[in-house]
Amino acid sequence: MTNKYMYFIANWKMFGNLNSLNSLHNVNSFFKNFKKKKLIKIIYCPPNTLIRPMSKKLKTSHIEVGAQNCHENESFGPFTGSVNSLMLKNVGAKFVIIGHSENRQAGENNQLINLKIKSALKAGLKIIFCIGETLKEKRKKQTKKILAKQILLGLNKIKDKKNILIAYEPVWSIGTGMIPKSNELFNTVDFIKKKTNNQKVLYGGSVNPKNIHLLKSIVNIDGYLVGGSSQDPKKFIDIIKKTYN
Ligand code: PGA
C-alpha cells in the first residue's frame, strides 16, 4: 500500500469525440468519494477538439485537463494545422505533454522539444516531458546514454523546473503490453532523478489494471502516464484504486 502523492495522467491520443465525455462522469464520482483523493492528481489529456468541453465538464472537480502537444511558436503565426500553448491555455489546458515518442518518431528532435517546453512554460502551462529509449537502443545497452541526451537537450537552459514532470516511457513498451523488469525500472527512474536534480518521474507504457500491482511496488515512481487503459473509465479507476490498496 502506498501513501505517496501520485499523478495519474490519461493520454487519449487521437481517440474520442463529444460522446466520450460522458465517461468522465464515472471518474468524477469515483474521485469525489475516494478516501485518498488528497494524494492523487488526475489529469486528462484529450485531443485538442475536446479540451474546451472537457474543461467545462470538469470545472467543479479537481481533475485537470492537458493537451498532447503544442507548436513551439509563442504567438500567432502562419502554421497551418498547428496550435500554440497560449491557445491551449485559452481553452482550459493546464498541462501539455511534450516529447511523446509518437511525435519524436514523426520527426520531433530534442532541440524542437526544448523550444516547445520553453514556450509552454512561458505560457504558464505545466509540462509532462516524455523520454524513453527504443528497443534497438535498449538491446545495444544505450538506455542511459539516450535518456541523458534527451534530458540534457530537452531541458537545455531551463533553470526553473518546478513545473516539469518527467514521464519515462520506453518506446518498446507503449501499446505492446510489455513493461520493464521491476529492478530495471527502479534503476532507470533513479538514474533520471539523479540526472534531473530529483524531478518527479512518472512511468508510461502499457500500464493496465493487471500489471499495476507490479508497477506500484517500484517505490521511486511518482505516477503513471496511461494510454490505452485510460480510454476506459473502469480500467483507469481500477489502476488508481489498486495503486492504493
Ligand atoms: P499505452 O500508451 O498505455 O497505450 O502503452 C502510453 C503512452 O503512449 O503515453
Q: Is any atom of ligand 1 closer than 6 Å to the C-beta of 231?
A: no
Helix (H) or strand (E) holding 43: strand 40-45
pLDDT in tens, 123-163: 999 999 999 999 999 999 999 999 999 999 999 999 999 99
* CA 170 – CA 55 distance, rounded (Å): 30
Q: Which of 100, 102, 108, 133 is catalytic?
A: 100
Ligand 1 atom at minimum distance from 102 CA: 8
Phi, psi of 204 (to 5 degrees): -140, 150
Q: Which of 122, 59, 130, 44 has the alpha carbon at shortest distance from 86?
A: 122
Q: Is any atom of ligand 1 closer than 6 Å to the C-beta of 131?
A: no
CB-based contacts of 67: which residues, under 8 Å, 6+ apart? 45, 48, 51, 83, 88, 93, 95, 96, 97, 125
pLDDT in tens, 106-115: 999 999 999 9
Q: Is any atom of ligand 1 closer than 6 Å to the C-beta of 239?
A: no
Ligand 1 atom at minimum distance from 207 CA: 3
Q: What pLDDT does 1 receive?
A: 58
CB-based contacts of 154: which residues, under 8 Å, 6+ apart? 99, 110, 113, 114, 117, 129, 131
Task: State in Å: Cα 147 to ligand 1 middle.
Answer: 18
Residue 203 · residue 216 · CB < 8 Å: no
β-partners of residue 168 are 131, 203
Q: Is any atom of ligand 1 closer than 6 Å to the C-beta of 9?
A: no
What percent of the chain has a predicted confidence (pLDDT) above 90?
Answer: 96
In the residue annotation, 100 being an active-site residue is answered as yes
β-partners of residue 41 are 7
